């Protein structure tokens, strides 16, 4: 069985159990067909020496290495970098003693983890691939400096494959000089419990759903509330559930209150996860997103696997997943377009083929579908 080592810039750990959940899902998908291990190194300002935890769960061996920060004012960055390197050295040493050397490495997002994978390739002649999720390539200024840009381009070129989660992300990466002869788009994974068929008691009102990190600059929640306010003046047969938390949560809740929408047309649930979130998706009638920029939000995939249509702004790679069969796309900032789309959807959401939407989504986003795709990529890379 092929041994695959994940190294990632984000991964769930003791100080943030939500960080990089999508990376863990890719690891779980890969573990269906491969032997998988994870090394994740993360700074912890509350410790003064390196600490390592190990765990084997869902057929994945996880090695989490916590390294101290620095209290120095001078040479602070150098000390942190040295601790970062030591953490990886200790992590690899432990992995080799427990597991042996991997056949292939999968780095998640550029640049540091890809540099680590590249160095490992030079030392042990093991190929690496890189999955990229980051929206930073949509910006004009993507890299911190010229050296950062050169290193990023080098490790992209030397990878056996680069796997963005949308073709739109791929084109933006290439625009910034991230060249590679083997670009392959890979989907995100949706948890199995979103696929479960359950009997749900329908609400008297139609349920719209928005799930986000409450970053108004990106998610344009203010614009969404403006639209809901207009619609609520003409009809009151719906409620928008806004799920999540974040830096702008209080601001958005205050705006909903000022508009007279709170607990009438809009309800805030706070953070929902796992089966609680899946159950709300199943109760809802459709998802509404109005982001100013995105790559491909996992919540869109989650809505589709529940058989629910989606209204979204046409940004990032969303058009690669949403078409006339499963939703409506509007232009970003276009509040009139979003208003028209919601009004139409409120009266016509039942015309969508929920069974067909869910089946097509399962074929794209399930652990098995993504795991098979990853396995085929590893097999191709190793055969070369």
Mean pLDDT confidence for 173-190: 96
Mean pLDDT confidence for 41-64: 92
Instruction: Give residue 196's pLDDT band: very low, low, confident or very high (50, 70, 90).
Output: confident
**63-72, 292-301, 318-327: range with lowest mean pLDDT:** 63-72
Model confidence at 97: pLDDT above 60: yes
Asked if 285 and 208 touch (Cβ cutoff 8 Å), the reply is: yes
Mean pLDDT confidence for 256-273: 95
Mean pLDDT confidence for 241-251: 95
Percent residues over pLDDT 90 in the chain: 85
Instruction: Give residue 154's pLDDT band: very low, low, confident or very high (50, 70, 90).
Output: very high
Cα separation of 256 and 45, whole Å? 38
Give the Cα-Cα-Cα angle 308, 314, 320 (nearest 5 degrees). Answer: 70
Mean pLDDT confidence for 126-139: 93
Model confidence at 202: pLDDT above 80: no
Model confidence at 17: pLDDT above 90: no
Cα separation of 225 and 212, whole Å? 14
Model confidence at 199: pLDDT above 60: no
Q: What is the pLDDT of residue 73?
A: 67
Mean pLDDT confidence for 115-134: 97
Q: Which of 214, 213, 167 is nearest to 186 (CA)?
A: 167
Beta-bridged to residue 43, according to DSSP, are 67
Mean pLDDT confidence for 223-249: 96
Q: How far, CA to CA in Å, does 15 sit from each of 10, 12, 40, 332?
A: 12, 8, 13, 35
Model confidence at 262: pLDDT above 80: yes
Model confidence at 6: pLDDT above 70: yes
**9-18, 153-162, 241-250: range with lowest mean pLDDT:** 9-18
Residue 336, phi then psi, degrees to nearest 5: -65, -40
Give the CATH H-level superfamily of domain 3-189+366-383: Glycogen Phosphorylase B; (3.40.50.2000)
Q: Which of 69, 96, 73 is nearest to 82 (CA)?
A: 69
Cα separation of 241 and 285, whole Å? 11
Q: Which of 11, 28, 31, 9 is nearest to 19 (CA)?
A: 11
Instruction: Give residue 21's pLDDT band: very low, low, confident or very high (50, 70, 90).
Output: confident
Instruction: Give residue 273's pLDDT band: very low, low, confident or very high (50, 70, 90).
Output: confident
Strand order in the sheet with 51-57: 51-57, 60-67, 35-43, 3-8, 104-108, 128-132, 161-164
Q: What is the pLDDT of residue 185?
A: 97
Asked if 80 and 43 touch (Cβ cutoff 8 Å), the reply is: yes
The CATH 3.40.50.2000 domain(s) of the chain lie at 3-189+366-383, 192-364
CA dihedral of 6, 11, 17, 22, whole degrees rounded to 10: -80
Instruction: Give residue 198's pLDDT band: very low, low, confident or very high (50, 70, 90).
Output: low
Q: What is the pLDDT of residue 352?
A: 97
24-42 as b/e: b if 16+ CB within 10 A = bbbbbbbbbbbbbbbbbbb
Q: What is the pLDDT of residue 74?
A: 65
Instruction: Give residue 368's pLDDT band: very low, low, confident or very high (50, 70, 90).
Output: very high
Residue 41, phi then psi, degrees to nearest 5: -110, 140
Instruction: Give residue 134's pLDDT band: very low, low, confident or very high (50, 70, 90).
Output: confident
Asked if 289 and 330 touch (Cβ cutoff 8 Å), the reply is: no
CATH class of the domain whose range is 192-364? alpha beta
Q: What is the pLDDT of residue 88?
A: 98
Mean pLDDT confidence for 13-34: 91
Mean pLDDT confidence for 128-144: 90
Mean pLDDT confidence for 216-244: 97
Mean pLDDT confidence for 195-213: 83
Instruction: Give residue 347's pLDDT band: very low, low, confident or very high (50, 70, 90).
Output: very high
Q: What is the pLDDT of residue 110?
A: 94
Q: What is the pLDDT of residue 221?
A: 98
- Token readout for 56 is 């084997």
How many other CB atoms are there within 10 angstroms of residue 142's CB atom? 19
Q: What is the pLDDT of residue 141?
A: 86
Average pLDDT in the chain: 94
Exposure of 286 in the CB half-sphere (CA atoms within 13 A):
25
Asked if 321 and 300 touch (Cβ cutoff 8 Å), the reply is: yes
Q: What is the pLDDT of residue 193?
A: 86
Residue 3, phi then psi, degrees to nearest 5: -100, 120
Model confidence at 249: pLDDT above 60: yes
């Amino acid at each position: 069985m092929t041994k695959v080592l994940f190294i990632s810039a984000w991964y769930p750990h003791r100080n943030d159990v939500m960080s990089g959940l999508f990376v863990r899902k890719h690891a779980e998908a890969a573990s269906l067909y491969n032997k998988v291990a994870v090394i994740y190194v993360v700074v912890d300002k509350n410790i003064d020496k390196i600490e390592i935890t190990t765990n084997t769960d869902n057929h994945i061996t996880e090695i989490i290495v916590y390294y101290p920060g620095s209290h120095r004012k001078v040479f602070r960055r150098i000390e942190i970098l040295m601790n970062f390197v030591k953490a990886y050295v200790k992590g690899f040493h432990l992995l080799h003693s427990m597991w042996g050397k991997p056949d292939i490495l999968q780095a998640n997002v550029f640049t540091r983890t890809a540099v680590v994978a590249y160095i490992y390739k030079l030392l042990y002649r093991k190929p690496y691939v890189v999955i990229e999720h980051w929206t930073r390539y949509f910006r004009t200024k993507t890299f911190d400096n010229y050296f950062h840009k050169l290193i990023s381009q080098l490790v992209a070129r030397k990878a056996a494959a680069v796997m963005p989660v949308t073709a739109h992300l791929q084109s933006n990466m290439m625009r910034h000089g991230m060249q590679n002869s083997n670009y392959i788009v890979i989907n995100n994974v949706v948890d199995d419990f979103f696929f479960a068929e359950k009997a749900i008691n329908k609400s008297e009102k139609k349920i719209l759903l928005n799930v986000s990190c409450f970053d108004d600059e990106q998610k344009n929640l203010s614009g969404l509330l403006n639209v809901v306010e207009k619609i609520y003046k003409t009809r009151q047969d719906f409620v928008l559930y806004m799920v999540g938390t974040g830096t702008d949560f209080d601001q958005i809740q205050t705006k909903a209150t000022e508009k007279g929408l709170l607990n009438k047309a809009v309800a805030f649930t706070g953070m929902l996860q796992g089966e609680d979130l899946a159950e709300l998706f199943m109760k809802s009638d459709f998802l509404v997103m109005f982001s100013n920029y995105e790559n491909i939000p996992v919540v869109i995939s989650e809505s589709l696997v529940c058989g629910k249509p989606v209204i979204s702004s046409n940004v990032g790679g969303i058009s690669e997943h949403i078409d006339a069969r499963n939703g409506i796309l509007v232009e970003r900032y276009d509040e009139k377009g979003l208003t028209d789309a919601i009004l139409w959807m409120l009266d016509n959401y039942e015309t969508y083929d929920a069974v067909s939407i869910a089946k097509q989504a399962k074929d794209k986003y399930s652990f098995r579908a993504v795991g098979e795709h990853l396995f085929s990529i590893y097999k191709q890379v190793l055969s070369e």
